[in-house]
Amino acid sequence: MVKKMKFPITRMRRLRKNSRIRNILSETKVNPEDLIYPMFIKESLKDGQQEAIDTMPGQYRYSLGDAVNEAQRLEERGLSSILLFGMPEEKDELGSMAYNSEGIVQMAVSRLKEETDLVVITDVCMCQYTSHGHCGIVKDDEILNDETLNYLSKIAMSHAEAGADIVAPSDMMDGRVGAIRETLDENGHDDTLIMSYAAKYASSFYAPFREAVSSAPSFGDRKTYQMNPSNILEALREVELDLSEGADIVMVKPAMPYLDVIRMIKNEFNVPTAAYQVSGEYSMLKAGIDAGYLTEDAIFESLISIKRAGADLIISHYAPLFLE
């Protein structure tokens, strides 16, 4: 029979009496290899011309050369993985530069695989590359699901051919994981992983990112393909479908407003799970810190909360700060 714990024999404060004791008894830890750093690479920039992102203070749009240099610097400090977003010089209705073998992301992947040992992940979507800013093919102001799948597969294929370790479809078109998996397998890239943005919500927390990569839609919104923030059971269905189609890793985006979703997905499926601490989360914390309302401890507390909720991997713009 277990004795009931009671004061003064049981003193919980003994477990917290100094920083060394607290550290060795930490139940949850964020490690450098848990973090993925998202980088924005702009085709029109010359080396040495990195652009500050006004809506995300401390973050930049990089030229190809500067992106590689920054990735190398972060790798030396312990970073293991990077997520690439491209900003092309030219856009069209079909987002053709997204699958061009000489596109900015494809060139970045090749350089990074040659010059670093980082795990290179690529965002597979069309919004930065289309003239209308939507994540798929548009006809009469309607985003066409099935017609988009071929284009997403071409994008993923071009990334895999450049050497990407993981492709990450973020568009939220139905069936895109299966289409991408089939295309990769048929073309000899069966070892390329798919990290699916499985539960991607139609969130106001994306606003700074849209300015960062100039991807705001020219009409309407993305609520017909991104998820309703009110729904959690729908997220489970999305994850189940993506896994059945061949996803290796599933993602929840955003992270902090959806910690309950992360936990439920981890409990239900117990598969590698990522969470994206998005631009709005970054900028919100940064503004609070810069105003003196918060300290930088809030950053580490937020990362711990995401890991504690069940995320194995965290995509965060705060990765460089964590590695300091």
Tens digit of pLDDT for each residue in 281-293?
999 999 999 999 9
Does the pLDDT of residue 98 top 60, yes or no? yes
207/216: higher pLDDT: 207
Question: What pLDDT shows up at residue 53?
Answer: 94
The reported pTM is: 0.94
Question: Is 46 a catalytic site residue?
Answer: no
Catalytic residue among 42, 91, 200, 307: 200
- 51: in domain: yes
What mean pLDDT comes out for the span 289-302? 97
Q: Answer yes or no: is 15 within a domain.
A: no
User: How many other C-beta atoms are found inside a 10 Å radius of the C-beta of residue 142?
Assistant: 12
Residue 5 is assigned to a structural domain of this protein: no
Query: Considering the domain boundaries, does residue 44 fall inside one?
Result: yes
pLDDT at 220 over 80: no
The answer to whether residue 188 sits within a structural domain is yes
Kindly name the residue from 42, 91, 154, 253 that is annotated as catalytic: 253
Is 3 annotated as catalytic?
Answer: no
d(CA 134, CA 240): 25
Residue 20, domain member (yes or no): no
Residue range 43-51: average pLDDT? 93
CATH number of the domain to which 126 belongs: 3.20.20.70
Q: What is the pLDDT of residue 143?
A: 86
* CA dist., res. 14 & res. 9, Å (int): 11
CA distances from residue 150 to 68, 156, 157, 194, 299 in whole angstroms, order as listed: 30, 10, 10, 16, 39
Tell me how far the alpha carbon of residue 151 is from its chain's centroid: 21
Residue 241 lies in a domain: yes
pLDDT at 161: 98
Residue 279 lies in a domain: yes
Q: What domain range includes position 129?
A: 30-322
**In degrees, to the nearest 5, what angle opens at C-alpha 135 toward C-alphas 214 and 257?**
80
- Total structural domains within the chain: 1
Q: Residue 122: pLDDT band by 50, 70, 90 thresholds?
A: very high
Percent residues over pLDDT 70 in the chain? 97
